[in-house]
């Protein structure tokens, strides 16, 4: 159904500063967004959500979503489907789906118990804190992002095996088979995928002198409609299918991976692989108004940051102020500034550093953090804490959400870090290795590829996991499953998840609208707010600029969300991002 946008003048009594618009409202089956500014558009597109009653899979690729739904239909639960989707994504979405990377899973079972699994990569045993610095102590450009030295010990296969061993219902082999079929039969490339592979040709050639099937054998560029067959990957998947995690971390694949590392000067050895272990961790569970938020604890910073962000805006009437109105935006930016400063200072692998999680998300601490805020003027990031400035790079991670017929729910965000990771393809194995080591703070105050800075808490140490921003999250309302959310986007993951949640719970959007809605981002340093074109009314931009905010329209979009909402009648709405090839499928 076509959306109806009404451009009306809205005038309301202001709270402490004025506002220009009203939230999205449902009226006679149409959602109307009331704004006085034709330059503002609330949504990236008018894509509609997918509705189903029995189960839903929202992922970055139609073939992967299909695999997940097939598993659900066969009687698999949400964890079974998630495992199958993770392996399918490794085949159909090689820029981010992976077996050579890592990630995080949040799982809420039908009875309401929740669990989180950390399958983040670990620093190899031979790594050390200054490994990316030259003799003068300066970072060597590219060393932590391109090539063999950039990789941490992968965690995805161990994570999936651990999730399946604890909660899976269907046999392991059935969950790997669809990925094997896709790798053998070949995947038809979308325009976006073809472009992605063409864009990394040079760097792939540089770090893979032996070539790989990600480069077309005839040397030509990939086009939409071409088929990518991955026989080596199929063989690796067969070993994983037969031997479980040992099929990857021991034996032939482990030896292949270690010799690839040796050839290119990487650090990962067979010993590192054998020693890798994913880890169940206590979820962060907190309330925001009458919602229960279940999210990822460190080694991701995402859950802590999300809880802080939600609780920082909780005292403010943002529903009344309106979606992306100046006051709403201002308190959200100021919350983000403070939270990313905390991230840089306090967060790291809890197995190595003490992270004061409870304190950071406590109302008392957060009240304290607001003391330096005034509506009259933007807070200066330098006064919140010190740091440096950097830009963005090409982004790729992937998130998927699954809900089964019993309303078990899984949120997984998984990544190679940058698009196609380190660009290293394991010879004979046919899969990309991550460049996750760049998520460590390679030198105090030096920004990573997302412009995030850190210090000792996130310094490299053997066996340590690098800090992440991934924020797979599940919300409960009145004791029942309510929402499953997550996205890629590096440092913008946290703020995109934050906005998507608020879009639904405060601004009355559907799941798909909350995903479609245009987004903005602030991360303390650099001290600027980036936004998708159209996200703000001209008037809002002017007001914020007058209060000292630097606003920068971004060419790239923010987020590739894959989310599921439980509707009041118990049906499910899948919301997948029109900014990518993402698709929700239900049954
Ligand atoms: O763990 C992290 O925070 C990053 N490695 C995520 C990278 C990412 O989201 C890239 N893509 N969009």
CATH number, position 517: 1.10.246.130
Active site residues: 397
Total count of residues recorded for the chain: 587
**Nearest to 468, CA basis, from 303, 339, 310:** 303
How confident is the model at residue 383, as a pLDDT?
Answer: 87
Tell me how far apart the alpha carbons of residues 89 and 183 are, in angstroms, rounded to a whole number: 10
How confident is the model at residue 385, as a pLDDT?
Answer: 67
CA of 350 to the centre of ligand 1 (A): 19
Residues 83 and 25 occupy one common structural domain = no
**pTM of the model as a whole:** 0.93
DSSP per residue over 43-56, as a string?
Answer: BS--PPPEEESS-E
Tell me how far apart the alpha carbons of residues 433 and 61 are, in angstroms, rounded to a whole number: 20
**Residue-number span of the structural domain to which 146 is assigned:** 58-97+120-279+423-458
For residue 148, being part of any structural domain is answered with: yes
Residues 293 and 306 occupy one common structural domain = yes
Tell me how far apart the alpha carbons of residues 94 and 502 are, in angstroms, rounded to a whole number: 31
Residue 472: CB within 6 Å of ligand 1?
Answer: no
Residues 138 and 65 occupy one common structural domain = yes
Residue 417: CB within 6 Å of ligand 1?
Answer: yes
CA of 416 to the centre of ligand 1 (A): 8
Q: By alpha-carbon position, which residue is closest to atom 2 of ligand 1?
A: 468
Tell me how far apart the alpha carbons of residues 512 and 500 are, in angstroms, rounded to a whole number: 10
Residue 396: CB within 6 Å of ligand 1?
Answer: yes
Q: By alpha-carbon position, which residue is closest to atom 8 of ligand 1?
A: 490
**Nearest to 60, CA basis, from 221, 195, 193, 202:** 193
Average pLDDT across the chain, whole number: 92
For residue 414, being part of any structural domain is answered with: no
Residue 468: CB within 6 Å of ligand 1?
Answer: yes
Residues 80 and 188 occupy one common structural domain = yes
- Within 8 A by CB and 6+ apart from 424, the residues are 147, 148, 151, 207, 208, 260, 264, 266, 432, 433
CA of 491 to the centre of ligand 1 (A): 7
Domain tally, the chain: 3
Q: Which of 144, 397, 399, 523 to mutate for ligand 1's pocket (most ligand atoms within 8 Å of CB)?
A: 397
- The helix (H) or strand (E) run that includes residue 162 is helix 156-167
Q: What is the sign, positive or negative, of the torsion defined by CA atoms of 204, 188, 194, 68?
A: negative
For residue 539, being part of any structural domain is answered with: yes
DSSP letter at 437 equals: G
Residues 335 and 476 occupy one common structural domain = yes
CA of 470 to the centre of ligand 1 (A): 7
CB atoms under 10 Å from CB of 567, counted, come to 13
DSSP per residue over 236-305, as a string?
Answer: HHHHHHHHTTHHHHSHHHHHHHHHHHHHTT----HHHHHH---EEEPPEEEEETTEEEEEPPTTBSHHHH
For residue 585, being part of any structural domain is answered with: no
Residue 451: CB within 6 Å of ligand 1?
Answer: no
CA of 85 to the centre of ligand 1 (A): 19
**Nearest to 47, CA basis, from 548, 587, 457, 562:** 562
Residue 302 Cα: closest atom of ligand 1: 3
Residue 415: CB within 6 Å of ligand 1?
Answer: yes
Residue 436 Cα: closest atom of ligand 1: 5
Residue 397: CB within 6 Å of ligand 1?
Answer: yes
For residue 49, being part of any structural domain is answered with: no
Q: By alpha-carbon position, which residue is closest to atom 11 of ligand 1?
A: 396
Q: Which of 145, 303, 469 to mutate for ligand 1's pocket (most ligand atoms within 8 Å of CB)?
A: 469
CA of 570 to the centre of ligand 1 (A): 32
Q: What is the sign, positive or negative, of the torsion defined by CA atoms of 524, 529, 531, 536?
A: positive
- Within 8 A by CB and 6+ apart from 110, the residues are 406, 407, 408
Residue 492 Cα: closest atom of ligand 1: 9
Residue 439 Cα: closest atom of ligand 1: 5
CA of 369 to the centre of ligand 1 (A): 27
Residues 346 and 494 occupy one common structural domain = yes
Residues 161 and 232 occupy one common structural domain = yes
Residues 193 and 255 occupy one common structural domain = yes
Residues 241 and 288 occupy one common structural domain = no
Q: Which two tokens stand for residue 130?
A: 């200054």
Residues 436 and 513 occupy one common structural domain = no
For residue 106, being part of any structural domain is answered with: no
CA of 413 to the centre of ligand 1 (A): 9
For residue 145, being part of any structural domain is answered with: yes
- Within 8 A by CB and 6+ apart from 217, the residues are none
* Helix, strand or coil, per DSSP, at residue 151: coil
Q: Are 349 and 299 in contact (CB under 8 A)?
A: yes
Residue 59: CB within 6 Å of ligand 1?
Answer: no
Residue 470: CB within 6 Å of ligand 1?
Answer: yes
For residue 416, being part of any structural domain is answered with: no
Q: Which two tokens stand for residue 520?
A: 């903005």
Residue 98: CB within 6 Å of ligand 1?
Answer: no
Residue 103: CB within 6 Å of ligand 1?
Answer: no
Residues 134 and 238 occupy one common structural domain = yes
| Residues of the chain under the 70 pLDDT cut | 1-36, 385-395
Tell me how far apart the alpha carbons of residues 565 and 558 are, in angstroms, rounded to a whole number: 20
Residue 491: CB within 6 Å of ligand 1?
Answer: no
Residues 286 and 274 occupy one common structural domain = no
CA of 13 to the centre of ligand 1 (A): 41
How confident is the model at residue 7, as a pLDDT?
Answer: 26
**Nearest to 309, CA basis, from 397, 369, 220, 237:** 369
């Amino acid at each position: 159904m076509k959306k109806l946008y009404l451009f009306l003048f809205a005038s309301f009594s202001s709270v402490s500063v004025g506002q220009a618009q009203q939230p999205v409202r449902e009226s006679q089956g149409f959602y109307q967004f009331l704004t006085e500014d034709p330059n503002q558009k609330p949504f990236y597109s008018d894509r509609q959500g997918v509705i189903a009653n029995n189960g839903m899979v929202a992922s970055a690729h139609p073939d992967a979503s299909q695999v997940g739904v097939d598993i659900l239909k066969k009687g698999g639960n949400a964890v079974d489907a998630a495992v199958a989707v993770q392996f399918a994504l490794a085949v159909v979405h090689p820029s981010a789906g992976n077996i050579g990377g890592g990630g995080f899973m949040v799982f809420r079972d039908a009875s309401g118990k929740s669990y989180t699994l950390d399958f983040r990569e670990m620093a190899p045993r031979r790594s050390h804190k200054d490994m990316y610095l030259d003799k003068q102590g300066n970072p060597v450009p590219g060393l932590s992002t391109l090539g063999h030295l950039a990789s941490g010990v992968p965690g995805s296969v161990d994570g999936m095996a651990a999730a399946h061993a604890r909660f899976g219902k269907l046999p392991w082999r059935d969950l790997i088979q669809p990925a094997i079929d896709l790798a053998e039969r070949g995947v038809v490339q979308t325009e976006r995928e073809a472009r992605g592979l063409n864009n990394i040709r040079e760097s792939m050639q540089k770090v893979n002198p032996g070539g790989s099937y990600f480069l077309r054998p005839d040397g030509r560029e990939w086009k939409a409609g071409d088929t990518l067959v991955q026989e080596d990957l199929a063989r690796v998947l067969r070993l994983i299918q037969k031997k479980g995690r040992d099929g990857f971390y021991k034996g032939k694949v482990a030896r292949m991976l270690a010799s690839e590392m040796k050839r290119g000067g990487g650090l990962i050895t067979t010993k590192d692989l054998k020693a890798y272990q994913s880890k169940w961790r206590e979820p962060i569970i907190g309330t925001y108004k009458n919602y229960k938020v279940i999210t990822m604890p460190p080694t991701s910073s995402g859950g802590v940051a999300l809880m802080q962000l939600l609780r920082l805006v909780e005292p403010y009437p943002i529903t009344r102020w309106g979606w992306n109105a100046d006051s709403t935006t201002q308190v959200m930016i100021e919350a983000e500034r403070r939270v990313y400063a905390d991230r840089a200072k306090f967060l790291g692998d809890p197995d190595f550093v003490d992270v004061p999680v409870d304190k950071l998300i406590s109302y008392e601490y957060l009240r304290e953090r607001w003391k330096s805020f005034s509506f009259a003027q933007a807070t200066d990031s330098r006064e919140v804490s010190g740091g440096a400035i950097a830009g963005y790079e090409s982004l790729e991670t992937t998130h998927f959400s699954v809900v089964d017929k019993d309303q078990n729910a899984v949120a997984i965000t998984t990544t190679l870090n940058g698009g196609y990771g380190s660009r290293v393809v394991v010879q004979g194995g046919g899969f990309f290795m991550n460049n996750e080591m760049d998520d460590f703070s390679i030198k105090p105050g030096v920004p990573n590829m997302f412009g995030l800075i850190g210090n000792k808490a996130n310094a490299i140490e053997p066996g340590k996991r690098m800090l992440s921003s991934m924020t797979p999250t599940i919300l409960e309302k009145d004791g029942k499953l309510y929402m499953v959310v997550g996205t890629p986007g590096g440092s913008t993951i946290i703020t995109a998840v934050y906005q998507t949640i608020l879009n639904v719970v405060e601004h009355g959007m559907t799941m798909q609208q909350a995903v479609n809605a245009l987004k903005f981002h602030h991360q303390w340093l650099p001290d600027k707010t980036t936004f998708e074109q159209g996200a703000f009314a001209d008037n809002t931009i002017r007001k914020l600029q007058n209060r000292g905010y630097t606003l920068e329209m971004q060419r790239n979009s923010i987020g590739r969300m894959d989310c599921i909402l439980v509707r009041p009648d118990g049906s499910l709405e899948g919301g997948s991002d029109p900014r990518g090839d993402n698709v929700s499928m239900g049954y």
